[in-house]
Amino acid sequence: MAADEILLHIKDSYYFEVPKWLWKHDHESHSDFPDVWVKLDPGFQTWQAHEVYHRLEADGAKGLPSEDAFILEYEHWLHEPGNHGKPIKRFLNSKAEESLTEGGDVLEWAIMGEEVADEYTVAEYKKLPADHEHVNWAPSKIDGYNHALSGKILIPQPLGGELRNLYQKEAGFAISKFMVIEFFVAVIISVVFIAYARRVSQGQLPKGWFWNLIDVFITFLRKDVAKANIHHGADKFVPILWTLFFFILGCNLFGLIPWMGSPTGSISVTVTLALAVLFIGMGAGAKEFGALGVWLNLVPGMELPTVIAIIIKPMMFVIELLGLLIKHAVLGIRLLANMVAGHVVLLAIMGLAVQIQTAVGVPSAVAWPVVLVILVGSVLLSCLELFVAFLQAYVFALLTALFINSETHSH
pTM of the model: 0.83
Predicted confidence at residue 1, as pLDDT, reads: 41
pLDDT at 299 over 90: no
Predicted confidence at residue 205, as pLDDT, reads: 79
Q: Mean pLDDT across the stretch 376-383?
A: 77
Q: Mean pLDDT across the stretch 187-213?
A: 88
Kindly report the average pLDDT of the chain as a whole number: 84
Q: What is the pLDDT of residues 349-366, one digit of tens each?
A: 666 666 665 665 555 555
Q: Mean pLDDT across the stretch 286-303?
A: 79
Q: What is the pLDDT of residues 70-125, one digit of tens each?
A: 889 898 998 888 888 888 888 888 888 877 766 667 777 888 888 888 888 888 99
SS3 assignment for the chain: CCHHHHHHHHCCCCEEECCHHHCCCCCCCHHHCCHHHHHCCHHHHHHHHHHHHHHHHHCCCCCCCCHHHHHHHHHHHHCCCCCCCCCHHHHHHHHHHHCCCCCCHHHHHHHHHHHHHCCCCHHHHHCCCCCCCCCCCCHHHHHHHHHHHCCEEECCCCCECEECCCCCEEECECCCHHHHHHHHHHHHHHHHHHHHHHHHHCCCCCCCHHHHHHHHHHHHHHHHHHHHHCCCCHHHHHHHHHHHHHHHHHHHHHCCCCCCCCHHHCHHHHHHHHHHHHHHHHHHHHHHHCCCHHHHCCCCCCCCCHHHHHHHHHHHHHHHHHHHHHHHHHHHHHHHHHHHHHHHHHHHHHHHHHHHHHHHCCCCCCHHHHHHHHHHHHHHHHHHHHHHHHHHHHHHHHHHHHHHHHHCCCC
Answer yes or no: are the C-beta atoms of 43 and 135 closer than 8 Å.
yes
pLDDT at 310 over 50: yes
Confidence band for 397, pLDDT divided at 50, 70 and 90: very high
Q: Distance (Å, rounded) from C-alpha 30 to C-alpha 120?
A: 16
Predicted confidence at residue 363, as pLDDT, reads: 53
Q: Mean pLDDT across the stretch 311-316?
A: 80
Answer yes or no: are the C-beta atoms of 264 and 278 closer than 8 Å.
no
Predicted confidence at residue 317, as pLDDT, reads: 84
Higher pLDDT, 295 or 394: 394
Predicted confidence at residue 10, as pLDDT, reads: 67
Q: Give CB contacts under 8 A, 24+ apart, made by 173-181.
A: 174/14, 175/14, 176/12, 176/13, 176/14, 177/12, 177/13, 177/14, 177/15, 177/16, 177/261, 178/12, 178/261, 178/263, 178/266, 178/269, 180/16, 180/155, 181/251, 181/254, 181/260, 181/261, 181/263
Q: What is the pLDDT of residues 212-254, one digit of tens each?
A: 899 899 999 999 999 989 888 888 999 999 999 999 999 999 9
Q: Distance (Å, rounded) from C-alpha 8 to C-alpha 210?
A: 35
pLDDT at 8 over 60: no
Confidence band for 396, pLDDT divided at 50, 70 and 90: very high
Ranges of each domain in the chain:
25-148, 179-296+329-407
* Percent of the chain whose predicted confidence (pLDDT) is above 70: 89
Predicted confidence at residue 4, as pLDDT, reads: 44
Predicted confidence at residue 111, as pLDDT, reads: 84
